[in-house]
Amino acid sequence: MKRLLLQIFTWWNGQTLATRFHTWRKGRRVGADAFGNVYYEGGTDSEGRTRRWVIYDGLSEASKVPPGWHGWLHHRVDTPPASESYEPREWQKPHLPNLTGTPYAYRPKGSLLTKEERPRVTGDYDAWTPGN
């Protein structure tokens, strides 16, 4: 019941009723990623291309889409990552969603949200003071 109410009254929790209906009518499941997002295609967009979309697992946050799926969604590649046997190189890091606004966000020294003090400014910089 809660999930249904979320779909009726919010757009940022997974999918709306309109998206669910469109997916049921025209969607063909193409694959899923490690984050639990499910990718679909079906129908045509305004440019005549096959429409592609994602149903997020949880909050709708575009940074949760890995690079391979992002390329497929935006018609940069024709083959979805689920149909490829791509193996990342050893130097490639795993995809991370945008962590801004979470406890895991980057906070440099001197940030109001850290206990560390900002490093003192050194060098040839002199701050301006009135009357100089």
Q: What's the pLDDT tens digit per position in 38-66?
A: 999 998 888 889 999 998 887 788 888 88
How many domains are there within the chain?
1
- Residue 90 falls inside a structural domain: no
Q: For residue 26, what are the domain limits?
A: 2-83
Q: Locate tokens 């962590």: which residue?
A: 99
Output the pTM of the full model: 0.65
Could you tell me if residue 107 is inside a domain? no
pLDDT of residue 116: 79
Has residue 13 been placed in a domain? yes
Q: Which of 21, 31, 25 is nearest to 54 (CA)?
A: 31
Domain-embedded: residue 115: no
Please check whether residue 131 lies inside any domain of the structure.
no
Query: Can you give the pLDDT at residue 52?
Result: 92
Quick check: is 53 in a domain? yes
Residue 50 placed within a domain: yes
Q: Are 72 and 32 in contact (CB under 8 A)?
A: no
